[in-house]
Structure 1
Amino acid sequence: MVLLLDLLLALFHHMVCQAHIIRCSIHDPHSPLHSYHQSGDFIIGGIVFHGGFISGPRAFSEKIPPDKHEEFAIVPKNYQHLLAFAFAIKEINGNSKLLPNLTLGFRIYDSYDNARRTYHAAMLLLSLVETLVPNYMSNIQNNLIAVIGGLDPEISLHVANILDIYMIPQLIYGTAPVMNDKTPGLHFYQMVPQEALEIEGILSLLLHFRWTWIGLVFIDSDNGERFVQTVFPMFTQRGVCFAFIERIPKFTYITEIYGMLEQGSKIYDKLLDSKANVVVVHAESYSFAVFRWLPYLADLQHEPNKIKGKVWITTAQMEINAFVLQRNWDTELFQGALSFRIQSNDLPGFNSFEKSRNPFSTKGDGFIRDFWQQAFDCIFPDTAVNDMEVDVCTGREKLESLPGSFFEMSMTGQSYSIYNAIYAVAHALHAMSSSKYKHRTMMDTQGNNLKNEQWWKLHQFLRGVSFNNNAQNEVSFNENGEQVAGLDVINWNIFSNESFLRVKVGRMDHQASPNQALTIDEDAITWHSWFNQTRPLSVCTESCHSGSSKKVKEGKPYCCYDCLPCPEGKISNQEDMNDCKKCSDKDYPNKNQDFCIPRTVTFLSYEEPLGLSLAFFALSFLLITTLVMGMFMKHHNTPIVKANNQNLTYTLLISLLLCFLCTFLFIGQPQKRTCLLRQTAFTIIFSVAVSSVLAKTIMVVLAFMATKPGSRMRMWLGKELAISIVLSCSFIQATICIVWLETSPPFPDVDMHSVAEEIVLECNEGSVTMFYCALGYMGILAIISFTVAFLSRKLPGSFNEAKSITFSMLVFCSVWLSFVPSYLSTKGKYMVAVEIFSILASSAGLLGCIFFPKCYIIVLKPEMNNRELLIRRKKC
């Protein structure tokens, strides 16, 4: 590294400053200095211009020699700023309509980017042409009108401290937000849009391409610090995180190269290690040349390719340029970069004006010889040393042959701002001379001399200036003295021969709302070859896809996160959502949990297979029960029908018939009446059926006990006891149902939560306690019937129903014991289906176990349905 630095210092030898000042003024064509102006020396004072490039302080200026121990770094490309200045002056002086009675001239001073000599130059502007005598103006030709500059904000501030004493306007052609912090009331104008629009443009680019993980590099100055303090909270609030924030030192003198390379090495390490593919750069006009060191630092560390895969986003202040020693250095680093530029069109005639410049034929330009030697790497014959092996400048060299980093034939954004600044002053002078204050402001009636103290009135005309320049772009200022204009988004296409092409790929509209200000043609962008012409990705973490949400990693910026699947019942329908959200009550998440599906309204209906099947079985059992009842009624006089209380048999059959019928209350859309009837009717009817079975069982036991000699049980035999058992047991169940209906009756309800995909229309049971009380009571009756029947199953006697009742109660209890867990484990319409199935199964069990054996005898074994046979068998 030491050897490299020594070589670089040798290459930087004899370089000079990159900042300068230009002075120009109104010239009276009838004054004694007119012939001097026509000679092309341009010494007439008035407008001041500085910042950018200057190779030496000779032409257009009083000479202010640099300190002997200081050597400055040159940016040859900024010579075009001087040409834009001279071109605008030439056009204005050739326009008979704009300032018909006045001729503009100018003088240039080199500031050397140094506060002391900037103040010195500013004082010279207020003095005689050759003598530093401030406040002394001898004639009209030496009156200072305005200052054009500067490119760097600190220089502009230094000049403003002097000019504002005299209320002389300063038109700044570089970004200078630091000027807003100076003393209120100081007059200056910015020839670029306000920086807030540019910052909003950068943020809009990041959000458009979803670049949320970026690096930030800024110049180590008050302007750079101001930029960081502005963008950091603004970007963070909009979801953009910073992988690193690095500052680069200001670089003016050769002796500062050590610090520049040391800091550059740190920046290189950050770029190499960071996953961020996007780097935002806020720097000075010459800073592009500083970044050209990075590929060479990469070469030294044997990592020549890894640094190239970045997207650089630069502010309008930066131009593609180079120091003299970087003539053939690779610029592929910035291929595909995006930058901003004030909206502009090509100026007619400027290209021809540039081509006409020649060091042997151009007069009054003391900068062209130094520029020519540095740009074309040659020496003029009168300065060449005999033993030096260098090319001799012939004057036949072509500016268009220079690489774009040394000189551009098209006007740069900074040169365009200089051009507009001079025209703004000219139009303000024109408006001032045309106003009603013309004679009182411009002329002294006694001596016909210009009154310098009246020039402060030029400000009110500058504030209101509005015109279309020769490129048909409007130029005007807002209330803050900032030019009202939008920004173009430029894509840099850099070629292997060091030439480059600026491609306009979008714009920032200053009149649109922030969310709609940026328009971008993504297809027109050429990315760095590293990205294979696909949109670059710059995120800390790959996007969380739909169906998942972000979880910030502990100790990391919020752009670095893990992706977690959405919990059940929630969705995320966008990438990188901070949290999953619930669907509305009418929707439910799909399988991937990335969007909501409308829920279907459902209930157990006759139109679906399940409801239709249950209805079919209910009708079938209803028909069978009707047939059994008809058969029993037909054979009502036979012993098998009369046995065990014929009335109880018909009561049981009717209750079973009603049980099958009540299942239809459970099918169909729930209504208020059906909800009130379905559970109460079912439990009361079933209680009647089970009470009838219990009465039958008790009657069997009593009948056996009554056959014993001397038994008193015979007095209990009769219809009254059976009816009493049925009525009393049923009355208790009816009482429970009445209390249920009075306290918390069932009602139609909508279940939004049980089934995710469905909105279930159901009957809310009202009081769940009363529902299970009714079921419990029915279960108690069934258990008592089962117990009594089981104990009397072996009693003798023909047509003993105890065995049949035992089996029927066993089926009944099994069905309803399994009903409870099945009912609680199902949801939606299937809960209703489980209850219907339990009703049908238990009812069919009673019908089958009690009545099918009797039907078998009645239909297939009629000989057994005979009283004599029964008596004979009994005697035997």
Structure 2
Amino acid sequence: MANAGNGYHHQSYYKEGDKIIGGFMPITKAPLPHIHEFKSPPYLSKITQRVELKNYPHLLVLVYAVEEINKNLHLLPNVSLGFQIYNSVFDDEAALEGVWGLLSGQGKVVPNFNCGGDRKVVALIEGPTARHSFKIATTLGLYQFPQLSYGVLDPEWRRQAQSPSLYGMAPSRSYLLPAIGRLIRHFDWRWVGLIFSDSGREERVLETFTREIDKGDGCIAFAETIGKHDFYGKKLHRLLNIVHRSSANVIVFHATEAHLEAFRRQISLSYTQNKGQLLPFLKNVRFTNRAGEDVFFDKNRDVVTGYDIVNWAFSPSGTVNGIVVGSFWPWAAPGHELTVNVSLIQWESQFKQHPYSVCSKSCLPGYRKKHREGEQACCFDCEFCTAGEISNQTDMERCLRCPEDQHPNEGRDTCFPKVITFLAYEDPLGMALASLALSFCLLTACVLWLFVRCRNTPIVKANNRDLSYILLVSLLVCSLCSLIFIGRPERLTCLLRQNVFGVAFAVAVSSVLAKTITVVLAFKATKVGHGLRKWLRPRVSNSIVFGGSLVQVILCFVWLGSSPPFPENNTQTDDGQIVVQCNEGSIGFLYSVLGYLGLLAFASFTVAFMARKLPDTFNEAKHITFSMVTFCCTWISFIPTYLSSRGKNAVAVEIFSILASSGGILICIFTPKVYIILVRPDKNSKTFLRKK
């Protein structure tokens, strides 16, 4: 060290050159406290100074850099570079005194004047503390004097200083946390703890780090600060307990190397900082250093550089070896900023592969995330998708509903096309019902043939032969109309099936009612010339059948005119199926048709019940009573069964009710007559009737 001259008591180290680089470095620690009386210029006594060994290499680096530049003929051809390095002593007063001396020249402090003639000093390098950098920048900025700081500059302080001549040679902190965030997202760590230094920037560090973690859908498990002197004691012990209790396997430590050493067994990932080269021309400068790295400044006048990713491996002996396993270059092409060689990383022995750090395991396809109340967004449970919904990706917030023509598989992760279904003839159920319907048709046709063949016999003539024919034909139509319900529903079949069924049964039940009334009137008008005998004519019974059927016909026409049935694809009935069915248009008309049939049946039952004990060889009243009981029971039980059935099962219920009710009327009314005709022909004669 050499004294710079009279009146200026700042120590400096000088080397001659065509251009001089000024330097301010804290080679010694701050002097012991003392009071200046300002009776003479302040002087830093050598006795009060203590050498700062860790900063002495900074001076050697600057000297070495200048020598390397002078040796390189391509950097500054025909120009030699010198330096004048001052000891800033970690003291604002001493630093400002050196700045004024540097600007005035010849060791004299004369503000706004250059006492040195041709100024050789073209730039100033200083560091490493940012506080001294901004103190110096407030002065040098007034003169547009280039200032290069190798300390880490806080962006907020930099905006406050507003010095256009201050350039940063160390990587800006604005790139550091994004680099760490990018590394965390690379390994898909979503549950991360944060310990950072108590530097007055806690809120901004936490805000920036939270924003970076959010980009990977991650959360912060805990965030704790550590003070400058918290290397031992309760504070460190509390932090270690927090780390051990936390479920996070990844901890980001944003603090000093001394703090890192205290936590070295918990932290396996750190970072290093690169140092740039010096040039006197700072604007638009860009070159490649001897390490093959591009050196230039960004729009904020910070040197643009990257970060090495170092894996600290601990040997059995306790020594620490750092291995560079990757890098982060913020100005690389998007998606190529981070490079990591995972094969070089040596994880802690408890991890067989790269560690996972999540609050909750990912929800597999088929499940959705259900956030836990009162906890962070990263903590959730996995809930199986409900019926009709799927999730085809991991960690989905909500399940997706399948289209109407598709349904989910058992795992609820894929939608498959639904199977189109209806009551087909090929189905076992459809085949059985069709066979039963054809059997009833054949049986009814046989009875009708038998009655036509034996039309002149007493038993056929005694029970109103014409009404029997009408009843048998209507029962035949009832059995045949059940076949319309089987097969794929079309527009025509949907229009016909309920209406044909309703009218056919109306004719059948009206015929039964006419037969019953005829029996009652026959016994009431036994005397010749009785007034009721005129009601025994065939046209009266035919009028009853016609009138009873006409009401049903009118009701069906109103139904077809106002709200006709139509085919539709029901996608909501059964999972995995699309049921092709007939929409009845108005369910009220269907129940009106059934209600009218019930009214006719009740009237027939009432009249038949009253006439059941009338004396007559061929009295049908008892048989009609049983047939109407069967009819009513069938359709009363039909309604709840039909309403509780879905799809083709509902159709099968209606077909079975049609066949059961028509078969009940056929069997109850005509079985005794067929028995007499085929088995007891002796009772079917005039001789037998005379004996009775």
Asked whether the two chains share a fold, i.e. TM above 0.5, the reply is yes
The residue number in structure 1 matching 2:35 is: none
Quote the Cα distance in structure 2 between the aligned partners of 1:765 and 1:107. Answer: 102
Which of 239, 243, 247 is residue 267 of structure 1 equivalent to? 239
Give the structure 1 partner of residue 72 of structure 2. 95
Larger RCO: 1 or 2 (CA < 8 Å, sep 6+): 1
User: 1:571 Cα deviation (Å)?
Assistant: 4.2
Tell me the alpha carbon deviations over residues 328-372 of structure 1, each in whole angstroms, 9 at most, x when there is no partner.
xxx43333x2x45xxxxxxxxxxxxxxxxxxxxxxxxxxxxxxxx
Aligned to 1:694: 513
Structure 1 residue 495 corresponds to structure 2 residue 315: yes
RMSD of aligned alpha carbons: 3.8
Residue in 2 that maps onto 1:3: none
Alpha-carbon distance in structure 2 between the residues aligned to 1:22 and 1:518: 43
Q: Distance in 2 between matches of 1:105 and 1:832?
A: 104
| More moved, 198-207 vs 780-789 | 198-207
Q: 2:557 aligns with which of 709, 732, 738?
A: 738
1:289 paired to 2:270? no
CA 1:622/1:100 → structure 2, altered by over 3 Å: closer, same or farther? same
Counterpart of 2:378 (choices 559, 584, 590) is: 559
**Distance between the aligned counterparts of 1:218 and 1:22, measured in 2?**
37
Q: 1:48 to 1:627 in 2, by over 3 A?
A: farther
Matched, 1:704 2:523: yes
SS at match of 2:122: coil
Cα offset, 1:820, TM superposition: 1.0
SS in 1 for 2:143: coil
In structure 2, distance between residues paired with 1:179 and 1:709: 130
Would the aligned equivalents of 1:151 and 1:175 in 2 still touch at CA under 8 Å?
yes
Q: Percent identity?
A: 41
Q: Does 1:871 align with 2:689?
A: yes
- CA offset at residue 716 of structure 1? 1.5
Q: Distance in 1 between matches of 2:15 and 2:617?
A: 140
1:244 partnered with 2:65: no
**Does the Cα contact within 8 Å between 1:26 and 1:102 map onto a contact in 2?**
no
Contact 1:506 1:521 in 2 (8 A): no
Alpha-carbon distance change, 830 to 258 in structure 1, aligned in 2, over 3 angstroms:
closer
Q: Is the 8 A contact 2:218 2:378 kept in 1?
A: yes
8 Å Cα contact 2:106/2:115 also seen in 1: no
How much has 1:101 moved relative to structure 2?
Answer: 0.9
Pick one of 156, 159, 164 that aligns with 1:181: 159
- 1:718 and 1:219, CA in 2 relative to 1: closer, same or farther beyond 3 A? same
Q: Provide the residue aligned with 1:787 in structure 2.
A: 606
1:105 counterpart SS class: strand
Distance in 1 of aligned mates of 2:331 and 2:613:
103
Partner of 2:346: 526
Equivalent residue number for residue 431 of structure 2: 612
CA contact (8 A) 1:603 1:669 kept: yes
* Deviation of 1:126 (Å): 4.0
- Looking at structure 2, the residues matched to 714 and 26 of structure 1 have their Cα atoms a distance apart, in angstroms, of 152
Deviations 1:572-607 (A, max 9, x none): 444544444433333334445454443333333334
C-alpha displacement at 1:857, in angstroms? 3.8
Q: C-alpha offsets along residues 378-422 of structure 1, whole Å, 9 cap, x if unaligned? A: xxxxxxxxxxxxxxxxxxxxxxxxxxxxxxxxxxx43x3x2x332
Partner of 1:474: 294
Matches of 1:275 and 1:221, distance apart in 2:
27
For 1:487-522, what per-residue CA distance to the aligned partner results, in whole angstroms no more than 9, with x for missing partners?
5554443333424242425756645457x8656565
After superposition, the Cα gap between the structure-2 partners of 1:200 and 1:499, relative to the gap in structure 1 and judged at 3 Å, is closer
Q: CA, structure 1 residues 463+588, in 2 after alignment: closer, same or farther (shift >3 Å)?
A: farther
Q: Residues 217 and 279 of structure 1 are in contact (CA less than 8 Å); yes or no, is this contact kept in structure 2?
A: yes
Question: One-letter code of the match for 2:401?
Answer: K
Q: How far did 1:237 drift?
A: 7.6
Quick one: distance in 1 between partners of 2:304 and 2:688? 120
Instruction: Report the more deviating stretch, 241-250 or 548-557.
Output: 548-557
Query: Whole-Å Cα distance in 2 between the matches of residues 137 and 661 of structure 1?
Result: 125
User: In the aligned structure 2, how far is the partner of 1:788 from the partner of 1:79?
Assistant: 125
Counterpart of 2:585 in structure 1 is 766
**Alignment partner of 2:222: what SS?**
strand
Shift of 1:821: 0.9
The match for 1:601 is: 420
> How far does the alpha carbon of each residue in 1:98-133 deviate from its partner, in whole angstroms, 9 at most, with x for none?
211112334555556554555455456546586766
8 Å Cα contact 1:334/1:494 also seen in 2: no
| Aligned-partner SS, 2:287 | strand
The letter of the residue matching 2:277 is A
Asked whether the 8 Å contact 1:26–1:145 carries over to 2, the reply is: no
Shift of residue 85, structure 1, vs aligned partner = 4.6
- Give the equivalent residue in structure 1 for 2:81: 104
Listed one character per residue, the Cα deviations across residues 731-777 of structure 1 (whole Å, up to 9, x for unaligned) are: 11122222222222222333232323323332222222222111111
Amino acid at match of 1:288: E
Deviation at 1:143, TM superposition (A): 0.9
TM-score, normalised by the number of residues in structure 2: 0.84
**Which is further off, 614-623 or 651-660?**
614-623
Helix, strand or coil at the partner of 2:225: strand
* Matching residue within 339, 347, 357 for 1:537: 357
User: Is residue 22–residue 121 contact of structure 2 (8 Å, CA) maintained in 1?
Assistant: no
Gaps of 5+ in 2: 1-10, 31-42
- Are 2:602 and 1:776 equivalent residues in the alignment? no
Answer yes or no: is the 8 Å Cα contact 1:526–1:533 preserved in 2. no
- C-alpha separation between the residues in 2 aligned to 1:80 and 1:113? 16
Partners of 1:523 and 1:653 lie apart in 2 by: 91
Counterpart in the other structure of 1:46: 21
Give the one of 139, 145, 169 matched to 2:146.
169
Distance 1:685 1:170, change over 3 A: farther
Amino acid at match of 2:653: V
Alpha-carbon distance in 2 for matches of 1:119, 1:580: 66
Q: TM-score, normalised by structure 1?
A: 0.68
AA matched with 1:473: E
Distance 1:731 1:792 in 2: 26
Question: 2 CA distance for matches of 1:201 and 1:639?
Answer: 110
Match of 2:134 among 142, 157, 160: 157
Q: Indicate conservation of the 8 Å contact 1:25/1:143, yes or no.
A: no
Confirm or deny: 8 A CA contact 2:325 2:340 kept in the other structure: no
| CA distance 1:65–1:848, change in 2 (3 Å) | farther
Change (3 A) 1:80 1:868: farther
Whether the aligned pair in 1 keeps the contact of 2:179 and 2:330 (CA below 8 Å) is no
Q: Which amino acid aligns with 2:666?
A: L
SS at match of 1:100: coil
> Taking structure 1 as reference, are residues 26 and 703 closer, same or farther at Cα in structure 2, changes over 3 Å only?
farther
Q: Which of 17, 21, 30 is equivalent to 1:27?
A: 17
Distance 1:68 1:85, change over 3 A: closer
- Taking the aligned partners of 1:258 and 1:199, their CA distance within structure 2 comes to 23
Q: 2:444 aligns with which of 617, 625, 632?
A: 625
The structure in which a higher percent of residues are strand is 2
Deviation at 1:66, TM superposition (A): 9.1
What does residue range 376-525 of structure 1 map to in structure 2 within 5 Å?
413-414=272-273, 416=274, 418=275, 420-422=276-278, 425=279, 429=280, 458=281, 462-484=282-304, 489-497=309-317, 498-505=319-326, 507=328, 510-513=331-334, 525=345
Cα distance in 2 between the residues matched to 1:542 and 1:27: 65
Q: Which segments of 5 or more consecutive residues in structure 1 lack a partner in the other structure?
A: 1-20, 29-43, 58-62, 251-256, 295-330, 341-412, 430-457
Contact conserved, 1:27 with 1:141, CA < 8 A, in 2?
Answer: no
1:231 corresponding residue in structure 2: 209
Q: 2: distance between equivalents of 1:622 and 1:228?
A: 86
Whether the 8 Å CA contact 1:550–1:562 is kept in 2: the answer is: yes
Q: Does the 8 Å contact 2:28/2:50 carry over to 1?
A: no
Partner of 1:586: 405
Map Cα deviations across residues 202-261 of structure 1 (whole Å, 9 max, x no partner).
3344445443333222222244443223333564586433332222223xxxxxx46874
